[in-house]
Structure 1
Amino acid sequence: MDRKFVLSAFSYGILGLMLGIYMAASKNHGQLVTHAHIMLIGFVLSFIYGLCHRLWLNNSHSKLAVIQFYLHQIGSVIVFVGLFLLYGQFIALETIDPILAGGSIIVFIGIVLMMVEFIRTGRAH
């Protein structure tokens, strides 16, 4: 599971940096919020999850770990696409807001599940 998270982290990092380079080159920083979310939720949090699996969770492939991985990925993509559409002015806030809220809740559930994995691992030792 550690490798999956680290590879997804680098993928998000590349995507976020490409967006950042585009904003710098075009001098249009309208996607700053999207860029920040890709880098923090996508790159940083995914990388931290990968480290957690490698260092403390013994690279768990439990059912909970798999569910947590996919929830994080799904929620993250929903948030990134929603923010891109919102800040690119492709869609109105009233339309995208419930979708962004849902994506954020999915990412939140993912971090709660990571905490549950840590609690379970601590009890096993």
Structure 2
Amino acid sequence: MNFDRKYLVWALGYLIVGMGVGLYMAASKNHAQLVAHAHILMVGFAVSFIYSVIHRLWLERPARGLATAQFALHQAAAIAMCVGLLLLYGGVLPESTLAPLLGVGSLGVLLAALLMIWLVRQSGRTDPAASR
């Protein structure tokens, strides 16, 4: 499976989870999970979808190892961040316990974005049409 399709499948998975959290909040009239809901949809769905589009339109043949590392880092970090926020705003665990998980997740999402920038920059250097 190509990275564009992998990212699309994961994006749609985050969409389902984010919408499920939204429906839960609406049905229960308890909007405590609003921050987690927003992060699931933005970091999970929107960013994964954008990465899917980038792979489809601009990264014809990315360096396989780097693209795999970037994909795995983004997904692991997004999951860590989203699960941490669900646990925090659900009142399951205190912030002092979840702070390391949330910090690592946030940093991982940022590092994955930096790796995506690197992939895009490298792709431009190997494309002969880009120099025209």
Within 5 Å, which residues of 2 pair with 1:41-120?
A: 41-58=43-60, 60=62, 62-120=64-122
Instruction: Provide the identity percentage.
Output: 46
Hey, what does 2:28 align to over in structure 1?
A: 26
Hey, what does 1:12 align to over in structure 2?
A: 14
Query: For structure 2, which runs of at least 5 residues remain unmatched after alignment?
Result: 128-132
Hey, what does 2:40 align to over in structure 1?
A: 38
Hey, what does 2:126 align to over in structure 1?
A: 124
Deviation, 1:61, is 6.1
Query: How many residues in Structure 1 have an aligned counterpart in Structure 2?
Result: 125
- Bigger radius of gyration: 2
CA RMSD across the alignment: 0.9
CA distance in 2, matches of 1:114, 1:105: 14
* Kept after mapping to 2: 8 A contact 1:2/1:59: no
Could you state the TM-score of these two structures normalised by the residue count of structure 1?
0.97
Query: For structure 1, which runs of at least 5 residues remain unmatched after alignment?
Result: none
State the one-letter code of the partner of 1:26: S
CA distance in 2, matches of 1:51, 1:58: 11
